[in-house]
Chains A and B, each alone.
Chain A
Amino acid sequence: DAGVTQSPTHLIKTRGQQVTLRCSPKSGHDTVSWYQQALGQGPQFIFQYYEEEERQRGNFPDRFSGHQFPNYSSELNVNALLLGDSALYLCASSLVVGELFFGEGSRLTVL
């Protein structure tokens, strides 16, 4: 049973560019959440998708957007990248209530 998979694992972008990160949830999970983890910090909640709708959103600007597909996989898009967007982006899948299952993350470096 595959766990949560994320791609790409590492990527480098320059300021102003746009990036798309991808996540496939654990089999049977219908809810996908995205977190941003800056170096030395804990993960911060970006948003959550359920039934292809954004259900909850953290304190992130509109430059951060997402999508969930009918097979429950998800994408995170970040536009107009800033240096401060450099971080580890974590995807977590879950059922309605319970523990989060995390992927290994996508490490984004913005130059």
Chain B
Amino acid sequence: SQQGEEDPQALSIQEGENATMNCSYKTSINNLQWYRQNSGRGLVHLILIRSNEREKHSGRLRVTLDTSKKSSSLLITASRAADTASYFCATERNTGNQFYFGTGTSLTVIP
């Protein structure tokens, strides 16, 4: 079963705009990660945020985590056409790298 739910399911923006996608989950977690997937290929790790962290940055990516609301957001600034992909959040409930993925947000960046 899916642990997380991403919102929106699909997002279309112009190049240069910012893209924000959200993830909600159901149970307590150790950490939350965001992954990117290009057109049915393998997933690529983007960023990890631990349960005791509230915000994290990596290049054009900014992730926030609100454990009281069981939610996270991923912001991609100054988007590029190459950012077009599906984005998934994944939660780790206990140690051991067993991750639960959401249903994903499909992002399209129009040149």
> Which residues in A have some Cβ–Cβ distance to B below 8 Å?
4, 31, 33, 35, 41-45, 48, 55-56, 58-59, 88, 90, 92, 94, 96-105, 107
Contact = CB atoms under 8 A, between A and B. Distances in A.
8 contacts: A41-B2, A44-B1, A48-B98, A58-B98, A90-B42, A90-B43, A102-B42, A102-B44
A102 B40 CA distance: 12
Contacts of A44: 1-2, 101
Interface residues of B, number: 24
A101 B98 contact: no
Given A92-B43, A105-B42, 6 more contacts: A4-B42, A33-B98, A41-B2, A48-B96, A90-B43, A107-B40
A98 B103 CA distance: 21
B42 A43 contact: no
Interface of B: 1-2, 4, 33, 35, 40-45, 48, 88, 90, 95-104
Contacts of A104: 41-42
